[in-house]
Structure 1
Amino acid sequence: MQSIQASNYPIHFNEKGYEALNLHLKENKYSNLFIIVDTNTNEFCLPKFLPFIETDLTIEIIEFENGEENKNIETCVQIWNVLTELGADRKTLIINLGGGVVTDLGGFVSSTFKRGVAFIHIPTTLLSMVDASVGGKNGVDLGNLKNQIGVINTPNMVLIDTEYLETLPQNEMRSGLAEMLKHGLIYDKAYWEQFLDLKAIDFVDLDELIHRSVAIKNEIVSQDPTEKHIRKSLNFGHTLGHAIESYFLENENKTTLLHGEAIAIGMILESYISLDKELINADEYNLIKTTIKSIFEDVTILDNDIQPILELLIHDKKNEYGTIQFALIEGIGNIKINQSVENELILRAFNDYKS
């Protein structure tokens, strides 16, 4: 597949990615190489990755426990300490091999250690391939609040190898599909329509769908790297989705949701809000709702869950001057940003989701 040129870095695919990586290692005089992994990617992905590396550099592996609950500043401190103890310097290269937690956290660690060292992302989950690896957002959670601490800083390169997906469980694959569906809903109606019959998609199609999803996100981010305007469109489904994800993460009586599972709920809720505001019609809404619900199981949200979820909205990073801002779809394939939504309408959206 053809490489994609982002604003300051290339995104390579499959075999071409390893060729580009080894050329990069040859052409740049790095002092040493650190690979950040979590416990899952250390077991399932690192053994596949290491044989492709052609370098005389000393390679050190830094592992941390997998899971969103470990995407925090405490984990960063531990990794910064290890980097220091093992002699990392300004000429160090860090490769972040893993899903969105690894690339988000690893990018933040790299961007802040000694005021910034070079890093490369190698996403290994569908979600991280189509979302976390593109756009330069790096960061960690603050308690249960998603991505409150971070920087926008681009990697030297992104390498996407879809063979890593063979190690993923089905729920992780579905989680990534949520972001791909979002890209179609906000930007490309024809792309969205390719997902209406998932049974017709084979692995070759998936490679092409991933490439298109990455291209869509890159096209949006390239127009607005610092999220002042059109990049806000990528937040469709995330205003409520992140609040739901945070609430389920902090509540010991709830089963923690994967990112895509929460965003799927958020897209249904925010599509209902789009319907109520007459930005989409009933047929479009019903198609969105039935399509997403055919992929993702319903999640039980009780009446007494909704108020705590609403209270978490105030921490959303898109808020301006204390006002909650939504990105809503205006017909499938188009978006309208900076939309204010009253709580009564959000409540109706939750009631519709549960019905």
Structure 2
Amino acid sequence: MQSIQANNYPVHFNETGYEKLNQHLKENKYSNLFIIVDSNTNEHCLPKLLPILETDLTIEIIEFEAGEINKNIETCIQIWNVLTELGADRKTLIINIGGGVVTDLGGFVASTFKRGVDFIHIPTTLLSMVDASVGGKNGVDLGNLKNQIGVINTPKMVLIDTNYLETVPQNEMRSGLAEMLKHGLIFDKGYWEQFLDLKAIDFADLDQLIYRSVEIKNEIVMQDPTEKNIRKSLNFGHTLGHAIESYFLENENKTTLLHGEAIAVGMILESYISLHKNLITEAEYNQIKSTLKSIYDDIIFEESDIEPILELLIHDKKNEYGTIQFALIEGIGKIKINQSVENELILSAFEDYKS
């Protein structure tokens, strides 16, 4: 597949990616190479990468425990300390191989260590391939609040090898699928319609579906790298979805949700809001709701859950001047950003989701 040129960096696919990675190692005089992994990718993915690397550089592996709960500044401090102890300098290269937690955190570590060293992302989950590793956002959570601390800074390249997906559990695949569905809903109606009957999809075509998703996200980001305008469209489903994800992460009585599971709920809720703002038709809403509910299990919300979720909206990064801003769909395949939504409509959306 042809490489995609993003803002200051390329996204390479499969075997081409490894050729470009080794070429990059030859052409740049790095002092050493650090590979950041989590406990899952250290076991399942690193053994595939290491034999392919063509370099005489000293390679050090830095592992942290897998899971969103470890995507925090404490983990960064530990990694910064290890980098320092093992002699990392301004000419160090860091490769982040893993899902969104690894690429988000690893990119942030690299962007801030000694005011920034080069880094490369090798995403290994569907979610990180189509979303987390593309677009230059790097960061960590602040307590249970998602991605509150971070920078926008681009890698030297992103290398997408879909063979890594063979190690990814089905629930993680569904989590990544949510972002692909979002790309269709906000940008490409025809792409969305490819997913209306999952049984009809030949997953031999998965490479092409991933490619199109990266294309869509990249096209949006290229227009608005720092999220002042159209890039906010990528937040469809995320205003409520992130609040739900954060609430379930911090509440010990709840089962932690995967990112895509929370975003799927967020997309249903925000589609309902779009309907009641006369931006989509009832038929479009019913199609979105029934499609998402056929893929994702219903999440149970008690009455006592809703108020704390709404309180978490206050911390959403899209807020401006204390007003919560939504990106809503204006027909399938189009988006309307900077939409204010009253609490009564949000509560009504939750009631409809539960019905």
Give the TM-score normalised by structure 2. 1.00
Partner of 2:168: 168
CA distance in 1, matches of 2:78, 2:341: 41
**Shift of residue 48, structure 1, vs aligned partner:** 1.0
Tell me which residue corresponds to 1:35: 35
Runs of 4+ off more than 2 Å: none
Cα shift at 1:202: 2.4
Report the equivalent of 2:64: 64
User: Paired residue for 1:4?
Assistant: 4
Indicate the SS of the match to 2:336: strand
Matched, 1:238 2:238: yes
Aligned match of 2:293:
293
- The CA deviation at 1:351 is 0.3
State the AA in 1 paired with 2:168: L
Structure 1 spans left out of the alignment, 5+ residues: none
| Aligned-residue offset at 1:29 | 0.4
Deviates more, 1:47-56 or 1:70-79: 47-56
**Residue 137 of structure 1 aligns with which residue?**
137
CA deviation vs aligned residue, 1:265-300 (integer Å, no higher than 9, x gap): 000000000000010000000000000011100010
List aligned pairs for 1:42-81, cutoff 5 A. 42-81=42-81
Displacement of 1:203 after TM fit?
A: 2.9
User: What displacement does 1:305 show?
Assistant: 0.1
Per the TM alignment, residue 204 of structure 1 is displaced from its structure 2 partner at its CA by: 2.4
Report matched runs for 1:150-299 at 5 Å: 150-299=150-299
The number of equivalent residue pairs is: 355
Give the AA of the match of 2:322: G
Distance 1:228 1:337 in 2: 11
Q: How far is the alpha carbon of 1:7 from its aligned partner? A: 1.1
SS in 2 for 1:332: coil
1:138-169 alpha-carbon deviations (Å, 9 max, x no partner): 00000000000000000000000000000000
- CA distance in structure 2 between the partners assigned to 1:272 and 1:93 by the alignment: 46
1:189-235 Cα shifts (integer Å, max 9, x gaps) = 00000001111222321100000000000000000000000000000
Q: Distance in 1 between matches of 2:37 and 2:310?
A: 34
CA distance, structure 1, for counterparts of residue 140 and residue 95 of structure 2: 17
SS in 2 for 1:338: strand
> How far apart are the structure 1 equivalents of 2:138 and 2:224?
16
- 2 CA distance for matches of 1:49 and 1:317? 35
State the distance in 2 between where 1:211 and 1:2 align.
9
Q: For the residues of structure 2 that align with 1:321 and 1:221, how far apart are their CA atoms?
A: 24
Q: TM-score normalized by structure 1?
A: 1.00
In structure 2, distance between residues paired with 1:48 and 1:274: 45
CA deviations over 1:288-341 (Å, ceiling 9, x no partner) = 000001110001011110000000000000000000000000000000000000
Using the TM superposition, give the Cα deviation of residue 56 of structure 1 relative to its aligned residue in structure 2, in angstroms.
Answer: 0.5
User: What secondary structure, in the 3-state scheme, does the structure 2 residue paired with 1:333 have?
Assistant: coil
| Structure 2 CA distance for aligned equivalents of residues 134 and 309 of structure 1 | 28
What one-letter code is carried by the residue in structure 2 that aligns with 1:337? Answer: I
Distance in 2, Cα, partners of 1:229 & 1:103: 24
Give, in whole Å, the separation in 1 of the partners of 2:228 and 2:254. Answer: 35
Separation (CA, whole Å) in 2 of partners of 1:349 and 1:52: 50
2:323 maps to amino acid: T
Matched with 1:13 is 13
- Deviation string 1:94-123 (CA, Å, 9 cap, x unpaired) is 000000000000000000000000000000
Report the counterpart of residue 149 of structure 2 in structure 1.
149
Q: Which residue of 2 aligns with 1:128?
A: 128
Superposed displacement of residue 254, structure 1: 0.1
Matches of 2:199 and 2:48, distance apart in 1: 29
